[in-house]
A and B are shown apart, each in its own frame.
Chain A
């Protein structure tokens, strides 16, 4: 049976992991490759590496990092951040990424979705959507949640699917960091409207939130960052818990 996926997300700046990742046994605490390998050993189903570097030099470092991840890690991984055009996708896939996550660039130029799908196949493209609930409406945002657009979550997700996106990664800016659970109603609506997998992001604070997102929210995957990094939720325990709740998960 197809398993629900648990995905830790690592923010990368200048080739190292951002924000206090608290793994005790690391020689190099900030090394994303070592951290990714540790998550893989713990049973993460996929990894996401998000480049938050702005500088040109930093970008080159990130591409080098992608190559090191591909060489060393034996589960699928997605990379995102700083993707503006087809050439950026080509560079990251050639470095060994399995998928790319694109957010602002496809909002600015939706035809980029068609181009990526046509050139590399839908399976490489994760359409990332940051949205904020405002007076009952999910408003899509650009530039890491800084610039609102006139796009609305559900119609934009459907358009992304129709243009060839392989998955939707929905981050609720309203729920992110609050740790009171995922927006399960919105996620269930997305799942019902779409024929591609939905990755839920933003709001996880405890193990029960993952059970809810896979049942009530009908999500295919749950993504989180700090609760894994700070060991508030441990992936092996989370998997055992979800299995005990009857949710299909991979226990390695």
Chain B
């Protein structure tokens, strides 16, 4: 039987590129903000590019924060999706869903350093573990675009270093999240998405 994959519809950009990536893997996903459709999906993807304050406000207003937080099937957050699943974001100083006990902070240049912000481009994954990274080579490159990062902690399942090490991926029970864009990360990204689709509920 075909699995029902739902992509959370909310006020964030770049949802369609994830949908296209799933289509390349032969998956017809449903983009929906409907609570029941999300609760009843076999897997839920929570992607997005956007600003934490306005996206979190939208999710609260539409009750989607409660729905996402209570899901028991595999969930995959991407980019700002990962950040909104953390405890708090420095961007707009907003409380987030708290699925992961991490803070989201803005990249700061250490004194005398001039790293470019946002962190944009291909960077390497370190210590990647868990089902999402099955078959992924050590130090594989993935594509990032972000100015805020999640700190590392107990739920970190891959790190990347830019200015400092941060959580490139977070995992807790059925919840998975990626700071990078698997849909734009070539064959490595496609494999990571396929690994998520292959997780047995």
Contacts and interface: CB of A to CB of B under 8 A. Distances in A.
Interface of A: 1-3, 5, 40, 45, 70-72, 74-76, 93, 96, 98, 120-123, 166-167, 195-197, 220-221, 250, 252
Given A71-B24, A96-B16, A220-B121, 18 more contacts: A3-B141, A70-B16, A70-B17, A74-B24, A74-B184, A74-B187, A74-B190, A75-B143, A121-B51, A123-B49, A123-B118, A167-B120, A195-B114, A195-B117, A196-B116, A250-B122, A250-B141, A252-B188
Secondary structure of the A side of the interface?
loop
Interface string B160-195: 011000000000000000000101111111100000
Contacts of B185: 74-75
Nearest to A194: B116
A125 B2 CA distance: 39
A2 B162 contact: yes
27 contacts: A1-B123, A3-B123, A3-B141, A5-B121, A45-B121, A71-B23, A72-B24, A74-B183, A74-B187, A74-B190, A75-B143, A75-B184, A75-B185, A96-B16, A98-B184, A120-B13, A121-B13, A121-B51, A123-B49, A167-B120, A195-B117, A197-B120, A197-B121, A220-B121, A250-B122, A250-B141, A252-B188
Interface string B18-40: 00110110000000000000000
Contacts of A195: 114, 116-117
Contacts of A221: 121
Contact of A5 (B13, B21, B122, B183): B122
Given A75-B184, A75-B186, A2 B121 contact: yes
B41 to A, nearest CB: 23
Among A70, A195, A250, which residue has the most Cβ atoms of chain B within 10 A? Answer: A250
B162 A74 contact: no
B145 interface: yes
Contacts of B49: 121, 123
Contacts of A3: 121-123, 141
B168 to A, nearest CB: 13
Contacts of B189: 74
Given A72-B24, A123-B118, A220-B116, A252 B141 contact: yes
A43 B12 CA distance: 29
A70 to B, nearest CB: 6
Interface of B: 13, 16-17, 20-21, 23-24, 49, 51, 114, 116-124, 141, 143, 145, 161-162, 181, 183-190
A211 B78 CA distance: 34
Contacts of B17: 70, 96, 98
A123 B145 contact: yes
Contact of B119 (A2, A93, A98): A2
A1 B184 CA distance: 18
Nearest to A40: B186
A188 B49 CA distance: 31
Contacts of B24: 71-72, 74
Contacts of B161: 1
A197 B187 CA distance: 25
A122 B120 CA distance: 11
A72 B21 CA distance: 8
Nearest to B161: A1
B9 to A, nearest CB: 15
Contact of A123 (B114, B120, B183, B187): B120
